[in-house]
Structure 1
Amino acid sequence: MFDKILIANRGEIALRVIRACREMGIASVAVHSEADSDAMHVRMADEAVCIGPNSSTLSYLSFPAIIAACEITGAQAIHPGYGFLSENAAFVQIVEDHGLAFIGPSAEHIRQMGDKITAKETAKILGIPVVPGSPGGVPDVETAKKLAAEMGYPVIIKATAGGGGRGMKVAESEEVIETAFRTARSESKAAFGNDEVYMEKYLQKPRHIEVQVFGDGQGGGVHLGERDCSLQRRHQKVFEEAPGPSISPEERAEIGGICARAIAEMGYRGAGTIEFLYEDGQFFFIEMNTRLQVEHPVTEAIFRQDLVREQIRVAAGEKLSFTQDDLVIDGHSIEVRINAERLPNFAPCPGKITQYHAPGGYGVRMDSALYDGYSIPPYYDSLIGKLIVHGRDRPEALARLKRALGELIVDGVDTTVPLFHALLEEPDVLSGNYNIHWLEKWLAVNMPT
C-alpha cells in the first residue's frame, strides 16, 4: 500500500480523496493554483504545493508541475479525481514512466475508450449493445446524407473526441443535415483540436442510464448497478439517482452482467462507468468514462461501499475486496449538483461566501469545499457542492432531499438550489417519469431566459 498520495485536483473531489486517504492511514498531498491558496483541500491535506498561477492550463493541467510536486514531497501515487487529467492517456503514461502509480485505469484503456468510434467498436466486440450508426468517422456531407437516409431521421452528429455536449448536433431532416454536420465539426475542432465526427440514430425519448463498473486489472470485474442521470441541461447532469426508477431487477442483472464481464475481459483496473441511452426496454451504449464520476456517492450509498478506497486498493495491486454476490442494493439515493450560478441563465456566479450551513441528519451527506468567508474563484467549474440523500425507498429519499435542501444555507452568491426546490414540486419528477429532454422543456416554460 502507498504511504503518500498526491491529489491532482481541487474542490470537493480533492477533499473526498483526502478523507479516504486519512481513513486508510495514507498521507495526502494537495496541489493548488495561486487562486486556491486558501481552499479547503489545501487546509485539510497533510502537505500542500502551489503548482502555478490561476489558469488551470498553467497549474492543474501542467504535467511538469504535478510530477515535480510528487518528486518534492515523495508521493508514490497520483489520484486525478474527475475532470482535469483524469482521462488524459498521455499524462498517465508520463506518470508511470516516472515510476509513479496512477490511481485509475491504464493509458491503453483510456485511449481505447476516449475515442468514441474506437469505444463503440470495442463495445461491440465485448457484447455491449450499441446505438445504430456510422461504422467510423464521417468524412463529408455527402456521406452523412447517405448514412442518414439509410438509418432514418432524426440523426445525431457527434465529435469523436467529444464530451459535455460539445461538438454534438441533431439533424431532423436532410434540409438541415449539412448545417448540423459543419457546425459539429467546427465546434469539435475548437473544443478538442480534432474535427472528426461520427453519426448515430437519434433516439426520441430515451433515459440516460449509466452502469458503475469496477475491475482490479487481474481479471476481476463487477458492476454496482445503475444510475439514472436523465435530468440534464445542455447535456450536463443536474440530478442523479440510484437505482434507476425505470429499470427492473431483471434488466439490471442482464445489462450489469454484460458490463461486468466486459470489464473482466478487458483486464480493466479501477472505477469506470458505461453509459447508455435506454428506450423501450433496450440499452444502447454511448460511451465509457474511465474515471470516477461526479455522481459516485449515490452508488456508494445504496451498496455501502467506499469507491475511492477501492480505487486506491486496486491501484496498489490488490484484488477487489468484494464479489458480485456481496453487492446487494439497500434503499434509494439521490444527488443534486449545487452550482454557483445565477438563474434563469445559469451564468457563473463567483464571489465570497458570507454564510454557509450544511444540512445534516440521518441519510444526508454534503460533499463541498465551502466555508464561511471563502471566495469562489472565477477560473474553474461552477460546481460548489453535491447534496446526497439516502432513504429506504424513493419516496423517502425525495422527502429527505426536500428537507435537506430547506436546511442548506449558501449566502453571498446565487446557486441552483431554487431549481431543485421547484423540481421537487413537479409530478413527473416525483413519479420518476422523465427522459433526457424533460428538463430542457421544463426550463423553457418555467425559467425562460
Structure 2
Amino acid sequence: MRLPGTRYQEQGWEQVRKLLGQCSLAALARIGPARLLAPGAASLDDYVEAMAPALQAHGGRAALPGNSYGDTVLALAQGLLAELAARPADWDALCAAVAGEVARMGAFWDLPGGEAQLRKKFNDLYAVLRDKVDSDNYQAACGRPCSPNRIYAYRMLDTARAEVARLFAAWREHREQVGAILGRAVDAEPIEARMLRGAGDCRPEWILRWSASLERFGGAPGPLHTRSKRFASLKDSPDKIGAMLREIGEYEALSANADRDWRQDAHDAGAWLDDYWRVLGESQAHATPGPDRILEARQDELDLAAGLLEEDAGPEAAEPPPAPLDEALARQLCLSPRYLEMAAAAQARGSWALRVMEGDSLPVRLAVYLKLLGPVDDSYPGEWLVPATGELPTMAQLALLDGISLPTLRKRRDAAIASLRAAAGVQEEIR
C-alpha cells in the first residue's frame, strides 16, 4: 500500500521486521536481556549502540528492496532505530512489558521459546513505531491530521480489498462467499472481477459484506465485526470506507504513473543503445577485419569447439529469465506479472540446493521449500512470497505457475527432494 509520505506500508516491511527482530536478539546477547529491566535513556543508548553494528552485519536481507521508492531494508531499519532513539516513551513501554513478563515468569528469555517471545516484544514495538512515523510523515505531506490508528485502518482496508480481489478471481472455488459479498447468487464469472483493478475500484459495501462473511467462511469475525474499538468509526460508515479506498487508489495510480514515466525513459535509452550497437555491428560486418579481429574470431571458434565458452558462462548465466505471467493468471493468483522473474533473481546463486535442482523449474523448487520448511521461514526472500499472505504460494498456485497439474507437481517435488537427500547421503522415505 502506498500513501503520501509513508515508507513502511509496503510488502518490504516483512523483511524490515525480521531484520530488526534478529538484530535485536544479537544486540541483547551483547548487552544482556536484563538491561531491559532498567528503562530510561541509558539502557536505550546501550541498545541503539549495540544495534548499529548488528544491522550492518546482515548483508543479504539488509540489501533487499524495502519499498517501491528505492529504500533498502537496511535503510528503513536504520530509520526506525533512529526514530526509537528520539522517542524514549516507546522504549519505556517495551521495558514495562518485559518487566511484566519477568514478574509473571521470571527470566523468560532463558526458558524454551524465550528468544521467540523476546523477539515478538521487539516486533510489537517496531510495528507500533512504524505507524507513528508514517502517520507523522503523512500529515507533513498532506497537511491533514492522521493518527497511527488511521494508518492501521488504511492498511486493513487495502488488505481487505486485495482479499476481495483474490476471492473474485477464484470465484468458482469461493462461489458462496463471493455471492455473499456481492449480495446475489453467482452462477458465472462476475463482471466485478474484471472491474476490480485497484483500491479505488472496490466498493465499500463489498468490504463490509466481506468482513461479515468471515465468521461463516473463515471461522472468525471479520475486522469490522469484532468488539474491537480500533475500527469503530468505520463499522457503520461506508462513506468513510469509500473515501479511504479512493485515496489509496488515487495515490496508487499517481505513483504508478511516475514509475512508468521513469521506466519509459529507461526503455527509450535502451532502445537507442540497441540501435547504436546494431548500426555499429552492421558497419563492422561490411568492413575488412583487421588482424586482431581475425585472431579473436579464430579463438572464438576454437573455444566454441572445446565447449569452453559454455563452461565459463555456467548454467545460471545461460538460463533465460522466465517469461512474464499472463495478466489474467497474475490477477487470479494475486501476483505481479514479473513474479517468476523476480523470484528467480532472488535465488541464492551457487547454493548447493540450487545446483542439485538445476534441472527443475522454479515452481518445483519452491514446492520443495514449501514441503521441507513450510510456508513461512526467515530465510525466504521477499520476492518469493505472496503479497496478500506473506507466505510462499500454495501447491495449487505453484501448479498454475508451472502450467502443470497438481499431481504432476507433487511427483516432481518428491523427485527433487529425493535428489537432494541422495546428494546429501540421506536415505529417508518421503512422507
TM-score range, shorter chain: under 0.3
TM-score, scaled to structure 2: 0.25
Which structure has the larger Rg?
Answer: 2
* Larger relative helix fraction: 2
- Specify which structure has the higher proportion of strand: 1
Give the structure-1-normalised TM-score.
Answer: 0.25
